Amino acid sequence: MSASDSVVSARKVSKFFAGFQALRDIDLDVVKGETIVVCGPSGSGKSTLIRCLNALEQHQSGELVVCGIELTAARQSIDAVRRRTGMVFQNFNLFPHMTVIENCMIAPMKVKGMSRDEARATAERFLKRVHIPEQADKYPAQLSGGQQQRVAIARALSMNPDVMLFDEPTSALDPEMVREVLDTMVELAREGATMICVTHEMNFARQVADRVIFMDKGNIIESGAPETFFAKPETDRAREFLAQILH
């Protein structure tokens, strides 16, 4: 692996919240083109981990390099990393006062300095890619949950990020909406996007993940190919977890 292929490089990254440790000495490497699924019981630190990668949470110790930039408390490092990472949230976090296409245009215009026309063209391209170009002029509240999440994916993609971070993207969706969002994510992964997904969708992991990471109590306790992880989990914690979610 050459240094330029590294998207995430974490060494002994730790994060504390008042009174407890959310991440313990996390070591993690992700290279360009990889799709990683992060799973684990609630409170295991998986969301905290992914939120540290774009500094929505700040780690307190260890070294974290994302897209070649070392994340520190310095504003410039945080801004630089955020420009190169896209994030999709559990609750979409679309901007309700803007239309779908405006949601996708604001960052390219204000962060990258694109013209309105250029940003519109880019946004249209990505809305097409998530199969909802016809919703461009609606407001988020007029869309279904699945459509909103696909807009959120298009919005993140329109910044042309080096890595996409998904924080439980299907957990807030009605069951019948999960499919369309996962299909979009599968397409992305197959097109070679670098993705780190916190999700409990084990079928998604089986289909496209290069690696599954299992976390418990702030530690990464297993990391391996999905076939191996599902067939032969090494730890009791992982076995219990899989037994609970696969039934």
Stretch that binds other proteins, among 22-30, 83-91, 213-221, 228-236 (CB under 8 A): 83-91
What residues contact 225, with CB distance under 8 A and at least 6 apart?
Answer: 210, 211, 212
Applying CB under 8 A, the site for other proteins has a residue count of 22
Q: Which of 1, 3, 97, 175 binds other proteins (CB under 8 A)?
A: 97
List the one residue from 5, 27, 79, 227 that touches other proteins (CB under 8 A).
79
Terminal Cα-to-Cα distance of the chain (whole angstroms): 38
Q: Is 95 in the site for other proteins (CB under 8 A)?
A: yes
86 lies in the binding site for other proteins (CB under 8 A): yes
**Burial grade of 74 (CB within 10 A; 0-12, 13-18, 19 or more):** exposed
Shortest distance in whole angstroms from residue 54 CB to other proteins? 6
The total of other beta-carbon atoms located within 10 Å of residue 76's CB is: 9
With CA atoms as reference, report the closest residue to 214 among 193, 192, 240. Answer: 240
Are the CB atoms for 45 and 215 separated by under 8 Å?
yes
Cross-strand pairs, 216: 219
Instruction: Fill in the per-residue mask, 155 to 174: x = in contact with other proteins (CB under 8 A), - = not in contact.
Output: xx--x---------------
Q: Which is nearer to other proteins, 82 or 237 (CB)?
A: 82
Q: Contacting other proteins (CB under 8 A), which of 36, 49, 94, 202?
A: 94
CA 83 to chain centre: 14
Closer residue to other proteins, CB minimum distance, 82 or 200: 82
Position 54 contacts other proteins (CB under 8 A): yes
Nearer to other proteins, 60 or 91 (CB): 91
Which phi-psi region, left, alpha or beta, contains residue 192 (left: φ > 0; alpha: ψ -120 to 50)?
left
Tell me which residue has tokens 């930039």: 69
Given the rule CB under 8 A, which of 93-101, 174-182, 184-192, 211-219 is the region that contacts other proteins? 93-101
- CB nearer to other proteins: give 86 or 218: 86
Per CB under 8 A, the list member of 77, 93, 207, 219 interacting with other proteins is 93
Cβ atoms of residues 224 and 197 within 8 Å: no
Residue 126 burial by Cβ neighbours in a 10 Å radius (0-12, 13-18, 19+): buried
Residue from 6, 21, 77, 91 that binds other proteins (CB under 8 A)?
91
Residues that bind other proteins (CB under 8 A): 54, 56, 79, 82-83, 85-87, 89, 91, 93-97, 106-107, 110-111, 155-156, 159
